[in-house]
């Protein structure tokens, strides 16, 4: 499956710039900060390398590098908060990161340099080092995605911005790790669950099924963990930088909420597929997967609504991959729910409604299929070429020979959609680890 986010990337920080002037002779402190910066450099190198490839075989090493640095970063922030007087007189340290979500280049934000208060964003594309600079509360990949774009750069002297972007890198890596476990399963499994309702559908052998279910469970858990990281950023980091105007929208509540909801929606998708594979009664109760899928569709809709609340320039700057992922994700999930709802109404001998739901599902999937760069295009194509057409023909034939019912309009059918069932996936809270 093609993914919709990039790795955020960063630039080198010199360890000497992070040691308070009054403690330059503290060899133990200097050694620990030097080690922290070495871990940061390892993270930086792996983020940069991963951003250049669609190969997720090494995403585990990226995740480990981020976690190792993050643990030391939490220690450093705790030390800073407890000893702020010792940091007086430091030169500004510029933390520079490249956005995970911005796809277009806009006017540069004016830069100002108050102590602990730098803010701004630029369109740099290099990966060179960063000059000296103070730590503070200052102001302001293509991975499996569609097109390529230059990642817009932002910078700040705020250590909390550094924490925010590092946590976002952790969450994105968790998402990537999740999809690395299901990259060869996603479209196939989603189609096969609905194929199971069609006579002659291929049955997955027991061994393949068990392996697939375990992969789906692990991936769903990692997506819930990613959602927990995004939630932690919202609750514990953003309040400390809400006075900063950064040059990219990554670290604002609306975007972090959007990413959280997308992670949970994708986790729900995987959990529904686990349920479809393991519940022996699922074929006799198509209303249940329909309601679950409608709940997932609501989560995609909530994520997109959060993005739409951004101001015009910020909204337009967000990657087309992300916007299409949410929009087309809603369409694909809604279409799948409609296929199940068509079966519900066909079983209840409401043949006209069954035909209508299949017609609308077909139209939704055809629209997604036409957008070749869409992350969901292949899923739509597989559904259209698999179970949909035989079922559509069956329901039309039943209505033409048995039901003789008027097929409702799309507007009438939307009004008939049931409320989505209570969502499956819940956030796994992020608990910071620190080697104090």
Q: Look at residue 113 and tell me if it is in a domain.
A: no
Q: Look at residue 46 and tell me if it is in a domain.
A: no
**In which element (H, E) is residue 97 found?**
strand 95-98
**Cβ atoms < 10 Å from Cβ of 16:** 12
Q: Look at residue 392 and tell me if it is in a domain.
A: yes
Higher pLDDT, 151 or 62: 62
Q: Look at residue 422 and tell me if it is in a domain.
A: yes
pLDDT at 230: 98
Query: For the residues 58-85, what does the mean pLDDT come to?
Result: 94
Q: Look at residue 274 and tell me if it is in a domain.
A: no
Taking the model in full, what pTM does it have?
A: 0.84
Q: Any bridge partners for residue 10, and if so which?
A: 97
N-to-C CA span, the chain? 40
What domain count does the chain have? 1
Of the pLDDT bands very low, low, confident and very high (cuts 50, 70, 90), residue 56 is: confident
Higher pLDDT, 287 or 28: 28
Q: Which of 108, 63, 73, 68 is nearest to 93 (CA)?
A: 73
**pLDDT tens figures, 360-373:** 999 999 999 998 87
The tally of CA atoms less than 13 A away on the side-chain side of residue 412 is 10
- The average confidence (pLDDT) of the chain is 80
Q: Look at residue 150 and tell me if it is in a domain.
A: no
- The CATH number of the domain where 311 resides is what? 1.25.40.280
Rounded CA gap, 159 and 384, in Å?
50
Higher pLDDT, 389 or 427: 427
Residue 225 has pLDDT above 90, yes or no: yes
**pLDDT tens figures, 153-181:** 889 989 999 999 999 999 999 999 998 88
Tokens at 411, concatenated: 């507007």
pLDDT at 331: 93
Q: Where are the beta strands (DSSP E) in 106-196?
A: 121-122, 153-156
> How many residues are listed for the chain in this entry?
436
Residue 143 has pLDDT above 50, yes or no: no
Q: Any bridge partners for residue 318, and if so which?
A: 102
Q: Any bridge partners for residue 136, and if so which?
A: 158
Q: Look at residue 258 and tell me if it is in a domain.
A: no
**Whole domain around residue 325: which residue ranges?**
287-426
Q: Look at residue 224 and tell me if it is in a domain.
A: no
Share of the chain above pLDDT 90, in %: 43
Q: Which of 117, 106, 132 is nearest to 14 (CA)?
A: 132
């Amino acid at each position: 499956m093609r993914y919709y986010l990039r790795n955020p990337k960063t630039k080198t920080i010199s360890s000497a710039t992070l040691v308070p002037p009054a403690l330059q002779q503290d060899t133990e402190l200097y050694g620990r900060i030097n080690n922290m910066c070495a871990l940061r450099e390892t993270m930086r190198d792996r983020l940069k390398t991963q951003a250049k490839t669609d190969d997720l075989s090494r995403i585990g090493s990226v995740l480990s590098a981020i976690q190792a640095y993050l643990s030391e970063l939490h220690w450093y922030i705790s030390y800073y908060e407890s000893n702020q007087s010792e940091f007086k007189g430091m030169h500004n340290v510029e933390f520079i990161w490249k956005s995970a979500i911005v796809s277009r280049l806009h006017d540069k934000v004016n830069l100002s340099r108050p102590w602990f208060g730098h803010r701004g964003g630029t369109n740099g594309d290099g990966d060179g080092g960063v000059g000296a600079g103070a730590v503070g509360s200052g102001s302001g990949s293509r991975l499996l995605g569609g097109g390529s774009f230059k990642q817009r750069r932002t910078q700040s002297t705020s250590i909390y911005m550094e924490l925010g972007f590092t946590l976002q890198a952790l969450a994105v890596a968790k998402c990537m790790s999740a999809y690395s476990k299901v990259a060869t399963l996603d479209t196939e499994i989603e189609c096969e669950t609905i194929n199971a309702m069609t006579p002659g559908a291929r049955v997955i052998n027991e061994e393949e099924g068990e392996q697939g279910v375990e992969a789906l469970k692990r991936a769903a858990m990692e997506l819930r963990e990613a959602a927990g990281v995004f939630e932690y950023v919202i609750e514990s980091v953003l309040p400390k930088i809400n006075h900063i105007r950064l040059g990219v929208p990554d670290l604002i509540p609306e975007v972090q909420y959007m990413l959280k909801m997308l992670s949970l929606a994708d986790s729900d998708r995987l959990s529904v597929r686990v349920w479809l594979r393991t519940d022996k009664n699922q074929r006799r109760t198509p209303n249940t997967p329909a309601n679950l899928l409608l709940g997932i569709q609501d989560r995609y809709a909530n994520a997109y609504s959060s993005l739409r609340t951004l101001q015009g320039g910020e909204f337009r700057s967000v990657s087309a991959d992300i916007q299409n992922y949410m929009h087309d994700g809603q369409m694909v999930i809604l279409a799948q729910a409609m296929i199940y709802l068509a079966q519900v109404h066909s079983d209840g001998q409401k043949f006209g409604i069954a035909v209508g739901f299949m017609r609308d599902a077909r139209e939704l999937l055809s629209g997604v299929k036409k957008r070749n760069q869409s992350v969901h295009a292949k899923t739509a194509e597989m559904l259209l070429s698999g179970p949909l057409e035989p079922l559509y023909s069956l329901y039309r034939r039943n209505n033409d020979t048995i039901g003789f019912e008027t097929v409702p309009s799309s507007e009438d059918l939307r009004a008939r959609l049931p409320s989505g069932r209570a969502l499956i996936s819940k956030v796994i809270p992020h608990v910071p680890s620190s080697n104090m």
